[in-house]
């Protein structure tokens, strides 16, 4: 019995000892990998920053979209009288260099034109509900 207990103890010590040794190996290996990765990163040139989109370019895109939507609303014969003045005001603000105001006005024009297009689509059938019976 005493020999059995001693052998078991030796096995447990041996196993945990092995586990501890493996853990130490893994840690040493991890440290090596990290050190190598650091060396690689330091040897790479620094990443270039993403190009900034100018406010002028951002405005131009919104304005183009607003103009296209306004044109579509007009083709549908559903244009609003308030949209063209917004586009004109947006254009003038951009010419004056006030791009923040220009973008706000162009966005408003875009929303109006899109709503007018939606109105045309809805009214294509909705009008029938209003007919006097």
Burial status of residue 58 (CB atoms within 10 A of its CB: 0-12, 13-18, 19 or more) = middle
- CA-to-CA dists, residue 64 to 75, 86, 107, 121, angstroms: 17, 13, 10, 22
Cβ atoms of residues 82 and 112 within 8 Å: yes
Smallest distance from the beta carbon of 107 to another protein, in angstroms? 16
Count the Cβ atoms, other than its own, within 10 Å of residue 67. 18
CB of 97 to another protein, least distance (A): 30
Least separation, in Å, of the C-beta of 98 and another protein?
A: 25
Which residue's CB is nearer to another protein, number 67 or number 112?
112
Of the two residues 73 and 94, which places its CB atom closer to another protein in the complex?
Answer: 73
Residue among 60 and 84 whose Cβ is closer to another protein: 84
Query: Binding residues for another protein, per CB under 8 A?
Result: 74, 77-82, 84, 112, 119, 123, 126-133
């Amino acid at each position: 019995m005493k020999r059995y207990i001693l052998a078991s103890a030796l096995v447990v010590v041996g196993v945990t000892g092995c586990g501890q040794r493996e853990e130490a190996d893994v840690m040493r290996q991890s440290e090596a990998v990290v050190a190598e990765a650091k060396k690689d990163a330091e040897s790479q040139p620094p990443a270039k920053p993403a190009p900034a989109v100018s406010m002028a370019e951002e405005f131009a895109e919104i304005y183009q979209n607003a103009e296209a939507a306004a044109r579509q609303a007009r083709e549908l014969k559903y244009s609003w009288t308030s949209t063209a003045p917004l586009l004109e005001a947006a254009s003038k603000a951009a010419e004056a260099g006030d791009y923040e105001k220009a973008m706000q006005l162009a966005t408003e024009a875009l929303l109006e034109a899109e709503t007018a297009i939606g109105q045309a689509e809805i009214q294509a059938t909705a009008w029938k509900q209003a007919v006097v019976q």
